[in-house]
Chain A
Amino acid sequence: MKKADNARRRETLDIAMRVVSGAASLIGIFFLGWILWTVARQGLAAFNIDFFTELPAPPGVEGGGLANAIAGTAIITLLATLMGVPLGLFTGVYLSEFGKSTRFGGMVRFTMNITMGVPSIIVGLFVYTLLVLPFKHFSAYAGAVALAIIMLPVVARTTEDMLNLVPNALRESALAIGMPRWRMIIAILFRAARSGLLTGILLAVARVSGETAPLLFTAMSSPYWMKGLAEPTANLTVTIFNYAMSPFDDWKQLAWGASLFIMATVLGVNILARTLLRERTK
C-alpha cells in the first residue's frame, strides 16, 4: 500500500514538473509572439511610399519618412562590416592556425571573450573619446568604428571555431604538395569552412545593425541626408529612440515603422544564417 502511494506521488510530481516546464516555455513563446505582433501591427500602419523615400517632416506636418535614416544605417553597417570582418577573420585565422597554443594567442582569446561581454554603450563611449572628442564632431565613421569593435570578437570567435572543424588531413595534404601556408588558408581552409564563416559574418552583421547604444555618442542623428562621412548621420535606431521619447504621435508612428523595418531585417538575416548552417551540417 505504502509502495503504491509512493509511486503515485513520484508520478504526480513528474507530471507537475512537465506541466511547469512546458508552461515556462509557452510563456517565452507567448512574449515573442506578442512583441512580433505589436511591432508588425503598429509598424505596418506607418509603412507607405513616403516612409522609404522622404525626409522626416517637422512634428505636426503630414507625411514625411525616414529615407535618410535607412540610408545612414545601411552605410554605417556596411562600413563597419568592411572594417570588422577582415580584422575578425584574420584574428580568427591567427588563433586557429598560428597562435593556437602560444601565450599571445591565449591572451588574445581571453581578452576577446571579455570584450564580447563589454556593454555596447561603453564601446560607444570609448569611440566617443577616441574619434569624436579630438575632432569635435559626431560622424558616420565614428559610428562605424564602434560597430566594428562589436563585430570583431564575434567574427573572430566563429572563424576560429569553424577553422578548427576543418580536418587536419586537408591542411597536411595542401602543405605536402608544397603550398605555402597563406595559400593553404585562403584557398583550402576558407573554402572548406565557407558556409560556417558566412554564418558567423551574417550573425555579426545582424547583431550590430540593431544596435542603438554605440551610435548615440558617435553617429548621433540628423534630420538631413548625409553629405559626407565626417558629420552626424541619421540612422534608424537612434531615430527610434528620439522619436519614441517625443510627445508627437506622428513621430511615434515613424518610430514603430523603423522598429518593424529593423526587426524584419535582423530576424531575416538571422534565419538566413541559420538555414545556411543547417544545410552545412546536413
Chain B
Amino acid sequence: MTRFHEYLSEHFETIFRWFTILCAGTVLLIMAGMFINLAWNARLAIGEFGLGFLWSDAWDPALNEYGAFSSIYGTLVSTLIAMAIAVPMSVVIALFLVELAHPTVSKVVGSAIELLAAIPSIIYGMWGLFVFAPIMAETVQPFLQETLGLEKVPGLGRLFTGAPMGIGMLTAGLILALMILPFISAVMRDVFAMVPPVVKESAYGMGSTTWEVTHKVTLRYGIQGIIGACFLGLGRALGETMAVTFVIGNAHRISPSLYDAGNSIASTLANEFAEASEPIYLHSLIYLGLVLLVMTFFIQLAAQWWVARLKKSMGAGL
C-alpha cells in the first residue's frame, strides 16, 4: 500500500465527514451567490435608476428608460386574484378530504389533487392559451360584463371594462389559482390531519354536526397551519413564470381593468431576455429579477419563521 492509501483508510472517517459538510455548504454558497451575482450584473441599472426603479413605470428600450412598477403591479394583482380564489377553495377541499369524505373517496381525490400539483407549469400555460383563454373571451368575460352587469356597478365596474380578449390579468390570475390550488390543498390537508382525534371526538360527543366540528374545532386548531400554507402558496404564485407568460398578454401597462393585458416580473424576464442587446437593458432585466428574488426571500423568511413557531406550539410532527 502506498502512503496515500494508508492515509486515506486511516482518515476516511474525517474525510467523509468533511465531504458531507462541503456538500451542505454549497447550499449556502448558492443562496449567497444568487444575491451577489444578480446585484453585480444589475449594477448599471442600479447605478442609473437606483431605488426609483421600483416605482417608475417607464419601460422604453428605445430610450433606455426602465422601471419595474408595471411588472411589480402585475405580479401583485395576478397573485392577489389567484390567492383570493385558491385559498378559500383549498380550505374547503382539505376539509372535505379530512373530515367529510369517505376514506376511499378521500384517497382517490387526494391522489388526483397531488397529481394536479405535479403537472409542469408549461402545460397549464398551453392549456390556458389554447383552451381556457378562448372560453374566457367568448363566454366568461361577456357573461361577467353584460349578463351580470358588473361593468355598470360603480367603482367595481372599472375592473371589468374593455374588450373581452380572453388574454389578460384576469385569465392569468385564474390559471395561477388553478396551479397553486392543489399545492395549498395538499399542505392544508396535512395540517388538518394533525388535529388530535380526541379533540374532535369530544365535540362530536356533545352532539355537534360534522360541519360544526370542522368549523369550530378543526379550523380553529389548524388556523396557524392554514396561514403557513398560504405563505408557501404565495411564494409559488409570485414567481410562477410559464403559466402566466402564456396568458397575461405581456404589455407594460397599468390598467384598472382586469380584462387588459399586463405583465409580471417573471413574464417580462421570459419574454424580453432574448431581445436585450444593450447592456443597460440586460442589467435592468436582471435588476427586475433581483426585485423578485428579494420579494420571495422575505416571504419564505416569514413562512419559515411562522412554521418554526408553529412547531414549538404544536410539538414536533409537522
Contact = CB atoms under 8 A, between A and B. Distances in A.
A207 B117 CA distance: 10
Contact of B34 (A32, A34, A93, A126): A126
B254 interface: no
Contacts of B89: 24, 27-28
Nearest to A112: B27
A276 B63 CA distance: 57
A39 interface: yes
Interface string A215-258: 01100000000000000000001001100110000001001100
A67 interface: no
Interface string A33-74: 011001100100000000000000000000000000000000
A99 B21 contact: yes
Nearest to B242: A212
Contact of A152 (B26, B96, B112, B292): B26
Contact of A110 (B240, B273, B304): B304
Interface in B263-314: 266, 269-270, 273, 286, 289, 292-293, 296-297, 299-301, 303-304
Given A22-B96, A22-B100, A90-B20, A129 B41 contact: yes
A18 B100 contact: yes
A21 interface: yes
B112 A94 contact: no
Interface string B27-71: 110110110011011000000000000000000000000000000
A149 interface: yes
Interface in A115-134: 115, 117-123, 125-126, 129-130, 133
A91 B92 CA distance: 37
A192 interface: no
Contacts of A34: 127, 131
A256 B125 CA distance: 11
B296 to A, nearest CB: 6
B275 to A, nearest CB: 13
Given A28-B113, A121-B289, A126-B33, A244 B126 contact: yes
Contact of B23 (A87, A121, A212, A267): A87
A153 B23 CA distance: 11
A122 B12 contact: no
Interface stretch (B137-145, B193-201, B204-212): B204-212
A241 B246 CA distance: 8
A18 B213 CA distance: 12
A111 B115 CA distance: 27
A32 B109 CA distance: 11
A233 to B, nearest CB: 16
Interface residues of A, number: 86
Nearest to B269: A121
A113 to B, nearest CB: 6
A181 B120 contact: no
A101 interface: no
Given A11-B209, A35-B127, A266 B118 contact: yes
Contacts of B119: 35, 210, 263, 266-267
B241 A120 contact: yes
A281 interface: no
A91 B16 contact: no
A18 B92 CA distance: 9
Residue among B31, B114, B232 with max Cβ neighbours from chain A (10 Å): B31
B93 A21 contact: yes
A112 B26 CA distance: 10
B124 A91 contact: no
Interface in A1-27: 10-11, 13-14, 17-18, 20-22, 24-25, 27
A181 B20 CA distance: 12
A156 B27 contact: yes
Cβ-closest 9 pairs across A and B: A119-B239, A210-B120, A21-B96, A94-B20, A182-B16, A14-B209, A90-B23, A213-B241, A117-B300
27 contacts: A13-B209, A13-B211, A18-B210, A28-B182, A28-B185, A31-B178, A32-B116, A91-B24, A94-B20, A111-B31, A114-B304, A117-B299, A118-B296, A119-B239, A119-B240, A122-B34, A125-B269, A152-B27, A156-B27, A210-B119, A212-B121, A213-B241, A213-B266, A217-B273, A241-B242, A244-B129, A267-B115
Interface of A: 10-11, 13-14, 17-18, 20-22, 24-25, 27-29, 31-32, 34-35, 38-39, 42, 86-88, 90-91, 93-95, 97-99, 104-105, 107-108, 110-115, 117-123, 125-126, 129-130, 133, 149, 152-153, 156, 180-182, 185, 206-207, 210-213, 216-217, 237, 240-241, 244-245, 252, 255-256, 259, 262-263, 266-267, 270-271, 274
